Amino acid sequence: MALHALVGATLIAFTGRYALQAYRRYLAAPKSAAPSLRKFYPGGFQAEMTRDEAAKILGVRQTASPEKISTHHKRIMIANHPDRGGSTYLATKINEAKDVLLQSEKKKRGRSW
């Protein structure tokens, strides 16, 4: 019985020591090494949507293919559709973002002389 108590006390001591060392390493680590939260862009929407803003809304590059734009648009609209409790304003902006990116893609293809 005394042996069990001794082993238990030893384990608690080692665990406490390890936790204290880990906490000290955490405090000494530079803040940039700590896991960062996802960063969002400050401010609201621009008055007239640009390609850059549209790409950020849909989470694609400005040079994304029409298929990728449509896929991302559909995924985001399912999550933000007004019929399912989403915002009408956000749904409008998501649709506008898709239109801006696809419209510029059509302009590129339309001028193939």
Give the residue, 9 or 32, on which the prediction is more confident: 9
From the DSSP assignment, how many helices (H) and strands (E) are in the chain?
A: 4, 0
The pLDDT-based confidence of 98 (bands split at 50, 70, 90) is very high
Mean pLDDT over residues 22-49, rounded? 73
58 and 69 in contact (C-beta within 8 Å)?
A: yes
pLDDT at 48 over 80: yes
- If you compute the radius of gyration of the chain from its CA atoms, what whole number of angstroms results? 26
| pLDDT exceeds cutoff 90 at 91 | yes
108: pLDDT confidence band, cut at 50, 70 and 90? low
Instruction: Inform me whether the pLDDT recorded for 7 exceeds 70.
Output: yes
Question: Tokens 């293919």 correspond to what residue?
Answer: 65
Q: Is the pLDDT of residue 107 over 80?
A: no
Structure confidence at residue 39 as a pLDDT band (50, 70, 90)? low
Three-state DSSP at 65 gives coil
Q: How far apart are CA 110 and CA 89, in angstroms?
A: 31
